[in-house]
Chains A and B, each alone.
Chain A
């Protein structure tokens, strides 16, 4: 029988978690309360007009404080620019599937069946059509651009001309590439069907496997997607979403360590069935992760200590991926595939333990001034 009893609206899971982590006014409210009014803090976490131009200039701290985007932890990040948004000169109309940072902090975005190259000022300087079913992108320090599409790897030069390519996977079981990275002359691809990372040379000869030296012989991927990054020392960090962990491996495939666990209340933990879904290494050794269900980006120490949270108000709640990249200045580039825009976050400066209300000097290109904590 139907009951006509009116019950108070039950909060959704997302609302309950959000309320338990953040004050009622949300993250922006927390910072508005935290930063003295004289600093002119802007409660709106969004930039006034999302354009391809950076929203914050060196004078941002004087004209009006940049919108703060992260929870008050050891580090804080502010949204400084949005690329490819609907209001931009060249928006992403259909898709935004990947992002990478190349030499000179050029930004490579994969979307709308093409590769777009932005300069460090956020202007599109090159674009070219890519192969069908392209799903991930990487940029090597030598200017090579790698695109993964199904089981195929396409190698292009900096101008977009195809210079090579190969099919990844076993002869009987082709790979399903969900992430790709360049390491020296090697090409690493995440094979989500085999649930391992494969190492190749540029001719497509397999050099080894990463991720098979554990109890199950593979990652556990309920979300059927594997993401990873490799740093200059050859440390590969990968998402083990079913175990709610970030795992670290040597380039030869030996396990180095892991951190992370499931949890719905502590921001250090990873929520839901399978997280983190995306990952990127920062140049200072920190690890940036992205989660679904609660769409958010977090920054960790290599040992798993949480440094910053860029909260869910910055991303579409229906994201099942937030593609990540970090430039040489430590700025976090997060590609929201639902809103189809690239959001760039920069570190907020601190004086002692207190944020000054201005962007960290690293946002303006002074990498040497990046401080820890």
Chain B
């Protein structure tokens, strides 16, 4: 004589099955995420350089750094990301103030040097990442129409500690921090230089 299951037993069994499925799914998702070669990165199309990358990162000196894209850079003599072009001009009619509060944006003349007239020179701009705190002031100043938009913010993998939930991603009002798969990237992203703040 076969035993007919009661409604209570049926519900009990269904709940167990659903529970196991949920636990299994979550475990699979977490293990996939832990083993996947994906990193947090800034989407330059969405980033507004709002300064939250500097203040929200768990590191004492943010893992977000400004990066210059040289093929877009105009090598300007009067770079609006380097000079505070609204500051008072000096005796050579060059603005006296700088945009970067950390003085992390460095420049040097490239090519032939004309010492008499700096307008004839091309200047290469690079970021000293030991000083850059990711405030994005230079990025904002370089955006068109002021500049060519060659500067952008980027998460440096060598510094990022790969939090389970990126604090900057949570804080970012523009949803500019995205998780992107990087084929071939070692799970050990790089030497972690900084401890948590």
Contact = CB atoms under 8 A, between A and B. Distances in A.
B120 A320 contact: no
Please classify the interface of chain B as helix (H, G, I), strand (E, B), loop, or mixed, using the class held by over half of its residues.
loop
B145 A293 contact: yes
A242 B85 contact: no
Interface in A213-239: 215-216, 220-224
Interface in A268-313: 271-274, 292-293, 295
Contacts of B89: 263-264
A17 interface: yes
B196 to A, nearest CB: 15
Contact of B86 (A17, A216, A295): A17
B146 A293 contact: yes
A248 B31 CA distance: 68
A173 B88 CA distance: 42
A216 to B, nearest CB: 5
Given A16-B86, A215-B120, A272 B146 contact: yes
A222 B74 contact: yes
B122 interface: yes
B7 to A, nearest CB: 55
B117 interface: yes
A224 B76 contact: no
A243 B120 CA distance: 7
A13 interface: yes
Contacts of A222: 74-76, 148
Contacts of A271: 85
A13 B145 contact: no
Given A222-B74, A243-B119, A261 B93 contact: yes
Nearest to B122: A220
Nearest to A292: B145
A77 to B, nearest CB: 22
Chain B residues touching A, range: 20 to 34
Contacts of B95: 264
B139 interface: no
A274 B86 contact: no
Most buried by B among A274, A292, A293: A274
A22 interface: no
A13 B119 contact: no
Interface string A1-26: 11000000000010011000000000
A295 B148 CA distance: 16
B144 interface: yes
B85 A274 contact: no
B85 A223 contact: no
Nearest to B114: A215
Nearest to A319: B145
A244 B119 CA distance: 9
Given A13-B85, A292-B145, A295-B145, A223 B74 contact: yes
A262 B75 CA distance: 16
A16 B147 CA distance: 18
Interface residues of A, number: 30
A317 interface: yes
Contact of A224 (B114, B146, B148): B148
B77 A318 contact: no
Contact of B120 (A13, A216, A318): A216
Most buried by A among B74, B75, B122, B144: B74
A11 to B, nearest CB: 10
Contacts of A243: 119-120
A282 to B, nearest CB: 25
A273 B119 contact: no
B172 interface: no
Given A2-B55, A264-B85, A272-B85, A224 B144 contact: no
A318 B86 CA distance: 18
Most buried by A among B85, B89, B144: B85
A319 to B, nearest CB: 6
A13 to B, nearest CB: 5
Contacts of B122: 220
Contact of B145 (A17, A216, A263, A318): A318
Given A222-B148, A293-B146, A242 B76 contact: yes
A273 B120 contact: no
Given A13-B85, A215-B117, A274 B145 contact: no
The 7 closest A-B pairs by CB, nearest first: A222-B74, A222-B76, A292-B145, A273-B76, A243-B119, A320-B145, A273-B80
Interface of A: 1-2, 13, 16-17, 215-216, 220-224, 242-244, 261-264, 271-274, 292-293, 295, 317-320
Given A244-B78, A273-B78, 18 more contacts: A13-B86, A215-B114, A216-B114, A220-B119, A242-B76, A242-B77, A243-B120, A264-B89, A271-B85, A272-B80, A272-B85, A273-B74, A273-B76, A273-B146, A273-B147, A293-B145, A295-B145, A320-B144
9 contacts: A215-B120, A223-B148, A244-B119, A262-B93, A272-B85, A272-B145, A295-B145, A319-B145, A320-B145
